[in-house]
Structure 1
Amino acid sequence: MTVDDERVSKARQGDREAFRRLVEGETRPLYAVAARITRDPGLAEDAVQEALLNAWRHLGDFDGRANFRTWLHRITVNAALEQLRKRSGREQFLADAGNADGAEDFLAAHADELPGPEQLAGGGEIGRQVQQQLERMTHLERSAFVLRHHEGQSLEEICGVLAINVSACKQAIFRAVRKLRGALEPLR
């Protein structure tokens, strides 16, 4: 039995100190993913607080199939998405599915390229364009993109977190990459 397993067991019995120790090193990574999804520091803070409260309330539902950190991460992503839904009820969360034929992992294809002097000089503009495009994406596109390319989650994990099927997940990621590619192409 690991230390985390012991703490989960104690926390299930109502030991708040055991729960605090379980989550104390996780708040920064949880905030980081919530901030990437919500694009708003206040909403990200609210999402993390809600996630920790939900984790405490539903600790009895934790079945141990995933490790505790993964479970807590999923709760946080869902809380961030809920914050976005609350803030923008008019925006359609699940956009009409686009065509994912020919989708490629754009970031992976360019990960090994080292920037030259011209690219370094244009880095500020690239950052601004990426930020603009992330803000223009639907919640689903941004969440799927962040989970895949910032958090490194598998398609199956993303599907579980966002409660969508693999096809919809691939399409959301493809649309996000296509939007980023379109914005960055003129800067090449």
Structure 2
Amino acid sequence: MAGTAKARSADVIVASELTRSYRGGPPAVDRLSLTIRRGEIFALLGPNGAGKTTTLRMLSALIEPTAGHVEVLGIDTRDPQGIDEIHNSLGILPEVAGLYESLTAYRNLQFFGRLHGLSDSTIADRARSLLTAFEIWDRRDDKIETFSKGMKQKVAVARAMLHDPPCLILDEPVSGLDPEAAKTLRDFIRDQRRLGKPLSCRPTTSTTP
């Protein structure tokens, strides 16, 4: 019940003394503490190799910190019993899209939607809405291997948002997007903030704002 009480607070992601070291080198992340609250847009800025992606992966419970800890909606990411709830609470866009090249755009969304426990009818509604917003609904039955980098990024963003998670973690979300699609994504992010959903992201410099 303690976790439920925490989840109702304004703090959605809390990292304390977060450290990640790799063998044979200095820490990629060294004693980082941060708090992301409901409705906040939190951006990580820094040069290449500063540990931005590593930080996002720890906040997403995709890798474990060497020291320190992270709580997502009051659940410690080190708790194996809470890991599924954490992943269902997050919409994650990794640095690499991670789509199945031999599947169509729609089948990719259907596959990942089912992993989140969504019904096929809900997947259909959400996929139509998101792919239409990114102007690729007419390509839904085309295989990912035929898509440009920007189109793959659109599908990956749609996948992160498909299950309507309360928190989004996006790594270079507008990388490869054309200006119109980047604006669509920024508008969507602002809408999520108005709904009280926090977002953590690593901005990209590859697309003009």
Q: TM-score range by the shorter chain?
A: under 0.3
Higher strand content, 1 or 2 = 2
TM-score (norm 1): 0.25
Rg comparison, structure with higher value: 1
Higher-RCO chain (CA-CA 8 Å, sequence separation at least 6): 2
